[in-house]
C-alpha cells in the first residue's frame, strides 16, 4: 500500500494531530468517540465520513473546543489544545445551520472575528472585502442574512470561517442544507476556494459522494471509531470490511468457500453465485469462508463465453437514471445483484423485467473483504 504511505503525512509535518481521543457523554454510556487517532497535513482537504451518530460531529466539536475529551490529546500546529477555550483556538468552524448572526449584516458577520482580534478598522474592511470577493458576494455586503438565498448564506458562513486565516477550518455538513443542483456546483467551488487559500479543511459529512469528490483523504467512521483511512480511490476500490463496502456506494456481496489459490488468484466455491468465482487476491487458506464485494458498475452483461465469473440471471427490475441504468437481477440461488450500465449510446439495448441474461466480472473487479 505505497499510495497510502505517500498520502499519509509524517508525524513531524502533522498539522492536526489527534491522539487516542475518547469522549463519553455519560460515565456509563458508550463512547461517542472511541480512541480516535489521526494526523492531518497542512493544506489537506480531509473528510470524516460516516452515518449519523458515528461520532464524527462530536470529533469536530472536540477540535473546536465545544467539548472536552475524556482521554487523549489534540495538537494543532504542535500546540496541545487541552484547556484551551474555543475563543483561543486557531480553528474556525462552519456550522451546519451556518449560524449567521441574524442581527448583523453580511459584512459584519464576516468581520466579526476580525473585530475580536482588534484588527484596525481599515485592515478589517479590506479583509472583509477580500473575503466577500473570494466567495463572490461583494454586492451583498450590506444585506442581512434573512435577505439571502440558501447558497448565499452558505458562502457567507464560509467567508466568516476563513476571515481570521485560521490554521484549520472545520466544516460541519457544509452542503447538506443546499438543494441537489447547487450542492454539486458548490463542491467544485469549495475545493477551488480551499486550493486558493491553502488552509487545511476538515469536513464532516454523511454523503459518500460528497466526501469522495472533494476530499484528498477520507476517514470512514462507525460507532466512534475510524474503520478505514485512505484516499477516495482506496476507500472505494479496496474497502477494508463490509461496513465500508456497504456504506461507500452500492455493492454486491457474494459469500463462498475458498477452494484453492494459485498465481495470485483464489477460487471460491459460491453457492449464492451458483459458480466457481475467480478473484485476484494473495494466498488464502483453502476451506475458509470469505465474502467478496463487486461494485454494480463492474459487472458486465453478456460477457465472452470463455470469461471467468460468468453467471446466469434474470432481470427483476430496472431504474433508468439518464446517464446510467441500474438493473436488479436475480441469480438462480435467489440472490439479488445490482448492475449499473452506462448509457453510452442513445439507444442503448435495454433489458426488461423477466429477460434472461448472462453476467460477468473480471477477477480484478472483485475485492475479498476481511471477515
Q: Interface with other proteins by CB under 8 A: which residues? A: 64-66, 85-89, 91-93, 95-103, 112-113, 116-117, 144-146, 153, 160, 164
CB of 88 to other proteins, least distance (A): 8
Nearer to other proteins by C-beta: 43 or 90? 90
With contact defined as beta carbons under 8 Å apart, do 239 and 229 qualify? no
Distance CA 66, CA 173 (A): 17
- What secondary structure does DSSP assign to 252-308, as a single string? EEEEEEEEEEETTEEEEEETTTTEEEEEE-S---TT-EEEEEE-GGG-EES--TT-S
CB of 257 to other proteins, least distance (A): 52
CB of 104 to other proteins, least distance (A): 9
Nearer to other proteins by C-beta: 5 or 26? 26
CB of 111 to other proteins, least distance (A): 10
Nearer to other proteins by C-beta: 174 or 230? 174
Nearer to other proteins by C-beta: 98 or 247? 98
Nearer to other proteins by C-beta: 101 or 320? 101
Nearer to other proteins by C-beta: 93 or 204? 93
Closest CA to 207 of 323, 342, 96, 327: 96
CB of 31 to other proteins, least distance (A): 21
Cell 476481511 belongs to 370
- What secondary structure does DSSP assign to 292-350, as a single string? EEE-GGG-EES--TT-SSEEEEEEEEEEE-SSEEEEEEEETTS-EEEEEEE--STT---
CA distances from residue 305 to 28, 193, 269, 357, 358 in whole angstroms, order as listed: 59, 50, 20, 13, 10
Distance CA 159, CA 174 (A): 13
CB of 289 to other proteins, least distance (A): 48
Amino acid at each position: 500500500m505505497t499510495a497510502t504511505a505517500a498520502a499519509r503525512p509524517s508525524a513531524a509535518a502533522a498539522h492536526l494531530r489527534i491522539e487516542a481521543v475518547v469522549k463519553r457523554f455519560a460515565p456509563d454510556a458508550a463512547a461517542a468517540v472511541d480512541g480516535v487517532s489521526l494526523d492531518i497535513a497542512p493544506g489537506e482537504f480531509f473528510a470524516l465520513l460516516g452515518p449519523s451518530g458515528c461520532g464524527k460531529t462530536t470529533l469536530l466539536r472536540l477540535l473546536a473546543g465545544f467539548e472536552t475529551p475524556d482521554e487523549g490529546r489534540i495538537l494543532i500546529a504542535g500546540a496541545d489544545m487541552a484547556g484551551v477555550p474555543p475563543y483561543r483556538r486557531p480553528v474556525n468552524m462552519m456550522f451546519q445551520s451556518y449560524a449567521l448572526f441574524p442581527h448583523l449584516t453580511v459584512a459584519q458577520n464576516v468581520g466579526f472575528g476580525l473585530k475580536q482580534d482588534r484588527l484596525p478598522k481599515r485592515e478589517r474592511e479590506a479583509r472583509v472585502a477580500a473575503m466577500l470577493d473570494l466567495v463572490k458576494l461583494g454586492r451583498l455586503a450590506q444585506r442581512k442574512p434573512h435577505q439571502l438565498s440558501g447558497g448565499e448564506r452558505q458562502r457567507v458562513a464560509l467567508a466568516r470561517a476563513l476571515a481570521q486565516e485560521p490554521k484549520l477550518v472545520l466544516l460541519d455538513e457544509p452542503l447538506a442544507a443546499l438543494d441537489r443542483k447547487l450542492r454539486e456546483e458548490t463542491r467544485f467551488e469549495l475545493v477551488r476556494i480551499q486550493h486558493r487559500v491553502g488552509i487545511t479543511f476538515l469536513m464532516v459529512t454523511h454523503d459518500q459522494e460528497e466526501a469522495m469528490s472533494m476530499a484528498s483523504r477520507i476517514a470512514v467512521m462507525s460507532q466512534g471509531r475510524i474503520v478505514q483511512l485512505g484516499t477516495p480511490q482506496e476507500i472505494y476500490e479496496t474497502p477494508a470490511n463490509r461496513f465500508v463496502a456497504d456504506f461507500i456506494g452500492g455493492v454486491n456481496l457474494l459469500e463462498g468457500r475458498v477452494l484453492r489459490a494459485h498465481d495470485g488468484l483464489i477460487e471460491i466455491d459460491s453457492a449464492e453465485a451458483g459458480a466457481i468465482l475467480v478473484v485476484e487476491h494473495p494466498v488464502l487458506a483453502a476451506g475458509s469462508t470469505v465474502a467478496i464485494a463487486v461494485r454494480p458498475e463492474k459487472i458486465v452483461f453478456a460477457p465472452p463465453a470463455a470469461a471467468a465469473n460468468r453467471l446466469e440471471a434474470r432481470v427483476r427490475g430496472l431504474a433508468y437514471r439518464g446517464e446510467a441504468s441500474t438493473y436488479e437481477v436475480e441469480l438462480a440461488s435467489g440472490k439479488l445483484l445490482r448492475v449499473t450500465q452506462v448509457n453510452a449510446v442513445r439507444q442503448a439495448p435495454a433489458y426488461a423485467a423477466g429477460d434472461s441474461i448472462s453476467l460477468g466480472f473480471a477477477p480484478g473487479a472483485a475485492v475479498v473483504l476481511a471477515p
